[in-house]
Amino acid sequence: MKQWVEHFNGRMDAWGRKLHEKEIRIPIDLVTGLVFALFALMVLLVMPDQVAISEKDVVNGRAFPTLLMTVMLLCCAMLIGKEVYKLATKQPLNWKVINVQVEAKALAILGILLGTYFLSKWTGLFVVGAVFCCLGFLLYFRCRKKSYYSITLVIAVAIWAAFRFVLGVGF
Amino acid sequence: MLQYIVPATGLLFTLENILWINLGVFIGSVFAAIPGLSVILCVILFLPVTYSMTAIPGMMFLLGIYCAGGYGGSVSAILINTPGTPHAAATMLDGHPLSEKGRTKAALKIALYASTFGGVFSALMLLFLGPQVARVAAQLGTAEYFMVCVFGLTIIAGVSGKSMIKGLISACLGLLISCVGSDPMTSYDRFTFGISRLYLGLDLAVCLIGLFALVEIMAKAEKRLDRLNLDTTQIKDDGVITKAEYKRMARPVLLSSIIGVMVGIIPGTGASEASWFSYNTAKNMSKHPEEFGHGSVEGIAAAESANNAVTGATLIPLLTLGIPGDGTVAIMLSALMINGLNPGLSLFTTQGDIMYAIMLGLILVNIFMLLQGKFLTSLFAKVVSIPQEILTPIIVIFCFAGAYSVNENYFDVGVALIFGMLAWILRKLELPPVPILLGLVLGGMTETNFRRALLISNGSPKIFFSSVYCIIFLVLILLAVGAIVRGKMKERNAQKEE
């Protein structure tokens, strides 16, 4: 078992080192401007379907969201315009470096969170998800101290019990 | 005012309130003492707990967390040279050097006393200034209120991130999310996409758990797992502060408390700005400026009194205008509104006894903070080194339990997870989350006032420029935008020069 763990950790380290070297550079302001301009346009597009109004209304329920999306579009136009101007005048753009290893680790954490959610939901027992969460994170951190496992599990059950029996939450 | 004080005292001094205050102070101190955990995270995690409480114990609990967070951050700053909260960074400059001189307990005591003074001073300012500001706020109509909301949102959007434009995009996103659910004026559903659970809108606590707490868990991917080893023997000094030192601290403590209150009243600014500003002022005014950075008692006292003096002051615009001074206080606004307490003059008149109980309670919070600090500091010091392996899953369990307990269904937990993922993407795009929070909190109020004003004017936007108050707020917005843009440009130029 110990050997298997060492072997697994070794492979993960090697994989991590490879990923650590991989980086993605994105022109952050340009991308943000484009993403949110598209988002604002989409919201404006779905608005007639999603916001019912009465013809008699002087100011209807679409007025405020439309105002917000107009402001958002203006902000996006400013962001994009600024970056396009930089491109035209050959000034350096605002770049953001995204490390693939960090994103892979974040995905692993997201996996633990989703696992906790689905386990709790499917079993109907929050405590099952809580135990999975503890084990998942301790394994993620490659914790070898047995005491940490027992402490965390005891606290997890205690939190569930406090919500269940003290605060009366039904899970 | 006096007619409310007596019933308020009766409402405040109950065993339930005292217990919740102490629990809040304890949790706030512990959370703030642990580097990486913030006061805002703590308030978000425990907000669902207050949903089943009445206004006074709920607010006392949250205020306990908020105020104690101001002091708790200094514990790790002094002990391990790592500020538990961002605003304790100024305390660290002198707190840790004093600790290294073998005076750890003295440094912790100075921080505690200064924090308590700043907190009580701020609570008294709230007690006396709050009702006066509310009287002015009572003269504001719907159009003026809309301008106030825009003013608050603009400042927070401007100061929250590197770019004001990105801050405004975040604020718009927060305001749009607040539109999900039934229309506040016609009750037609909006942006529900046929999901019946969305008809009542998205719960603020659930959104915040995703936006601020779960994203911090995902951010563990960005950080190395550092071990914070604390040598507990170092806090076994006698902790004596001499008379001369008390004398030297008096002036910076008073001045910094005033600065803290003034900074706290301005929306968008916060404890960090107050503590740095006060620290520099104290240094400039000190007879021993050479001691600053090497364990100056004045430095610790100035930074700590200022960051706690912000706590009561941020409540002044919150309780009178509904404009939160910072992100943490914005969350408290929702705790107030859940109990039917809407900001404004009516809060100080029709519900005066409750309001005064809360304001007097803030003084009590600071007194209990002093007592807990005196007797439990060594315990707070020990939690500094709780390993991340244990803390992380516990926070996640709290997040999930909190999100579930709001409506007792897993739909909300799913929503929190979606907001966590959204926050991760926004983080990558360098969009600040605080304007989203403010948008979520102020969304209902902003939209209702916007539409009511337009209804009054029969759809004419001229109403937003029609009164003196509207013009004043418009000028303030323009001045604030100008100042923020100028500041950002200066910052950028300084970076370029470096």
B84-98 pLDDT, tens digit each: 777 788 898 999 889
Q: Which residue in A has a C-alpha nearest to residue B461's C-alpha?
A: A59
Chain A nearest CA to B474, separation (Å):
17
Chain-chain contact of A163 with B173 (C-beta, under 8 angstroms): no
Nearest to A68 among B172, B214, B400 (CB): B172
Chain A nearest CA to B488, separation (Å):
15
Mean pLDDT (whole number) for B223-236: 60
pLDDT at residue B344 is higher than 70: yes
B392-414 pLDDT, tens digit each: 999 899 889 988 988 888 999 99
The average confidence (pLDDT) of chain B is 87
Chain-chain contact of A152 with B193 (C-beta, under 8 angstroms): no
| Chain B residues close to A158, C-beta within 8 Å | none
Cα torsion B352, B356, B357, B362 to 10°: value is 150
Q: What percent of chain B has pLDDT over 90?
A: 36
pLDDT at residue B230 is higher than 70: no
pLDDT at residue B368 is higher than 80: yes
For residue B123, what pLDDT is reported? 93
Contact present, B207 and B177 (Cβ < 8 Å): yes
Q: CA B301, B302, B304: angle at the middle one, nearest 5?
A: 65
Chain A nearest CA to B313, separation (Å):
30
Which positions of chain A have pLDDT values less than 70? none
Burial category of B428 from C-beta neighbours within 10 Å (exposed 0-12, middle 13-18, buried 19 and up): middle
Which whole-number Å values give the CA distances from B127 to B5, B331, B420, in the listed order? 10, 21, 38
pLDDT at residue B302 is higher than 90: yes
Helices (H), chain A: 2-21, 28-50, 63-88, 100-123, 126-140, 146-161
Best interface-test mutation with B: which of A25, A32, A150, A155 has the largest number of B CBs within 10 A? A32
Q: How confident is the model at residue B160 (pLDDT cuts 50, 70, 90)?
A: confident
| Chain B residues close to A104, C-beta within 8 Å | 221
| Chain B residues close to A58, C-beta within 8 Å | 454-455, 458-459
Quote ipTM for the complex: 0.92
Chain-chain contact of B394 with A53 (C-beta, under 8 angstroms): no
Question: Where is average pLDDT lowest: A1-15, B49-63, B230-244?
Answer: B230-244
For residue A152, what pLDDT is reported? 93
Most confident range (mean pLDDT) of A22-36, B148-162, B224-238 is A22-36
What single string gives the DSSP state of each residue in A76-104?
A: HHHHHHHHHHHHHTTPPP-EEEEEHHHHH
Mean pLDDT (whole number) for B42-48: 87
Q: How confident is the model at residue B415 (pLDDT cuts 50, 70, 90)?
A: very high
For residue A83, what pLDDT is reported? 93
For residue A136, what pLDDT is reported? 94
Q: How confident is the model at residue B207 (pLDDT cuts 50, 70, 90)?
A: very high
For residue A117, what pLDDT is reported? 96
Q: How confident is the model at residue B297 (pLDDT cuts 50, 70, 90)?
A: very high
For residues A84 and B476, give the distance between their C-alpha atoms in angstroms, rounded to a whole number: 31
Which whole-number Å values give the CA distances from A86 to A92, A94, B239, in the listed order? 7, 9, 58
| Chain A residues close to B389, C-beta within 8 Å | 137-138, 141, 143, 145, 148, 152
Chain-chain contact of A53 with B188 (C-beta, under 8 angstroms): yes
Best interface-test mutation with A: which of B389, B445, B455 has the largest number of A CBs within 10 A? B389
Best interface-test mutation with A: which of B153, B397, B489 has the largest number of A CBs within 10 A? B397
For residue B87, what pLDDT is reported? 79
